[in-house]
Amino acid sequence: MKNKLTQNKLTTGASWLIIANVSSRLIGIAYVIPWTILFGVASINANSLFGKGYTIYQFFLALSTVGLPSAVTQMANSLSRNEKSSFLISSVHFSMIQGLCTSAVLWISSPLLSNGDNNLIPVLHSLAISVIIFPFLSVIRGYFQSRLEMDIVAKSEIIEQVIRVLYMLISTYIILNVLKKGWVLAVVHSTFAAAIGALAATIYLLFKLLIIFNLKDIKSSYKSYHPFNMLVIIKKSIPFVFIGSFLTVYQWIDQYTFFYFMKIFHVGYSSHSLNVLFGVFNFNVNKLILIIVALAVSIASTILPLITANITDITLVRIKVKQAIILFWSVVLPAALGLYAVSGPIYTAFYGNYINTNITIPMTQISAITSIFMGGATVLAMIMQSLLKTKLILYYFTLGFVVKLILQPILINALGAIGPMYASLGSLVLVNYMLLRYLNHRMSISDILGDKYVGIITMTSFGMFIIVVVLNSTLAGFFDNTARFTQMMVLISDVGVGMAFIFFFYYKLGVLKHLFK
């Protein structure tokens, strides 16, 4: 009964988080089309500025939340009712203090972090406001996650994205077309939209909390409240900062080394050209693979409370780990191969034809392959985190960052602007290998390679890849590959055929039945 219950929670929780992550990522990517159309040719610079701001913001966001959702989830499951109440109240107090402090640091250090780009300073100031809100939002989400009420967490994420994107598009239209102001101000309001979305999600979650705890219960909790040891919260949370933001560190390395090494090894590029190239690989292409990485995050987020709750049952944990890896492989592999196959039409459809496809297509293809290892590192790290191996994860990730730093100048010198992408790929391959090696040593999961369904998933995914590549090449002869609308039609056709192929063979060969068993 216990095994069936936990398996149902894994499937249900993963389903809700996949729906939320994919929906929010789709919304977060779909806005790019109207947003870049509003900017026109200036969209190249706008995307680059937006990406620079978000790379810095994501790290400060992780620092402000200090892994609160995961820490609250993990600790709330191990405390008594009275201790849980005090812990949650203390976490709320801590989140407010942490948000204000981190926001102040981001605001004050913006001129230094801008690295000489004055347009970036107001962007960072706008993002500093959302840093105040997110820690509190994270605590509330962590509480619902500890109750395995993933539907509420999922809906809050969708609400956050919908409100954020609406504010982005409306404010951009008004600034550019009504007020006739510059594109920098439009980008500033587009980044400020993060605060608007977070506020909307917070209001929704507070409403749900009032259903569980009415005002009388809240007052009673405060009367019996004893401050929880804040050092325990901090100690429990800090590892989550580095684990949760490890992908952002790769972007930081690129942001603060790319321009420097390119100017040393490739002196022919102007500052404008470097900004364009950086915007393509560090933001535009990265945004396209976010859906794939989000699928991995969906799975990983559900694993944490389930494995932690059954950590003493090594047999059950081994089963859960293998289930998670198969679920990951069944979704992420076809998604990554599909993105590789449609790299041409998808970039043009979303970002226009302002940059030579000889640059955008290879960058999109490399990112598609890298997304498998990004997602793999996320899932495997969360599994190890559930096994309370945070120090080992930090060691592996640190080694990965060192490898990235070593490869960065070498590959930029040899390959130019595409070098940083190969440096990230090489580093992530190493990280995945180390994580898998440990998990196999701990619970002997190597037999998963001979699993019937892993083989079916792999063969089906590569079959889909071949079909879509052939279809894409055929359609290229009938449609203008420089027009946004026609490339969107090609993309819809490619994706439709690819998904139909996957679902048909997953169904006929029993993969779907196995995944939802």
Q: What is the pLDDT of residues 191-214, one digit of tens each?
A: 999 999 999 999 999 988 887 765
pLDDT of 225: 52
DSSP state of 41: G
pLDDT of 370: 94
pLDDT of 140: 86
Q: Is the per-residue pLDDT at 369 higher than 80?
A: yes
- Which amino acid does the sequence have at 244? G
pLDDT of 249: 87
Mean pLDDT in residue range 176-199: 94
Which among 127, 103, 139 is positioned nearest to 195, based on CA atoms? 127
Query: What is the residue-averaged pLDDT of the chain?
Result: 84
Mean pLDDT in residue range 24-33: 79
Which among 434, 396, 102 is positioned nearest to 242, based on CA atoms? 396
Give the confidence band of 351 by pLDDT, cuts at 50, 70, 90: confident
pLDDT of 366: 95
Minimum mean pLDDT range among 231-235, 248-252, 333-337, 468-472: 231-235
CB of 152 closer than 8 Å to CB of 144: yes
Mean pLDDT in residue range 26-52: 85
CB of 17 closer than 8 Å to CB of 153: yes
Give phi and psi for 10, each to the nearest 5.
-60, -50
As a whole number of angstroms, the distance between CA 115 and CA 134 comes to 26
The tens digit of pLDDT for each residue in 90-107 reads: 778 878 888 899 999 999
Minimum mean pLDDT range among 254-268, 303-317, 332-346, 413-427: 303-317
Give the confidence band of 66 by pLDDT, cuts at 50, 70, 90: low
Q: 239 or 330: which carries more pLDDT confidence?
A: 330
Give the confidence band of 328 by pLDDT, cuts at 50, 70, 90: confident
Give the confidence band of 355 by pLDDT, cuts at 50, 70, 90: confident
Mean pLDDT in residue range 35-62: 86
Mean pLDDT in residue range 315-322: 81
The tens digit of pLDDT for each residue in 287-318 reads: 888 777 776 666 656 666 667 667 777 778 88
pLDDT of 388: 78
pLDDT of 94: 79
As a whole number of angstroms, the distance between CA 507 and CA 20 comes to 24
Q: How far is CA 335 from the centre of its chain?
A: 15
Give phi and psi for 148, each to the nearest 5.
55, 30
The percent of residues above 70 in pLDDT, for the chain, comes to 83
Give the confidence band of 8 by pLDDT, cuts at 50, 70, 90: low
Q: How many CB atoms within 10 Å of residue 341?
A: 25
CB of 345 closer than 8 Å to CB of 487: yes
pTM of the model: 0.81
pLDDT of 468: 95
Q: 95 or 79: which carries more pLDDT confidence?
A: 95
DSSP state of 353: S
At 444 the three-state DSSP class reads coil
As a whole number of angstroms, the distance between CA 13 and CA 22 comes to 14
As a whole number of angstroms, the distance between CA 295 and CA 25 comes to 10
pLDDT of 226: 56
Q: Is the per-residue pLDDT at 234 higher than 70?
A: no
pLDDT of 4: 52
Q: How many CB atoms within 10 Å of residue 76?
A: 19
Residue 127 neighbours by CB under 8 Å, 6+ apart: 53, 54, 56, 57, 60, 106, 191, 192, 194, 195
The percent of residues above 90 in pLDDT, for the chain, comes to 41
As a whole number of angstroms, the distance between CA 104 and CA 108 comes to 6
pLDDT of 455: 92
The tens digit of pLDDT for each residue in 371-402 reads: 999 989 988 888 888 787 888 998 999 999 99
Which among 129, 146, 128, 97 is positioned nearest to 199, based on CA atoms? 129
Q: Within 266-356, where are the H helices? A: 271-279, 285-288, 290-309, 314-341, 343-351
Give the confidence band of 413 by pLDDT, cuts at 50, 70, 90: very high
Minimum mean pLDDT range among 23-27, 205-209, 353-357, 466-470: 23-27
Q: Where are the domains of the chain?
A: 31-239
Mean pLDDT in residue range 169-188: 94
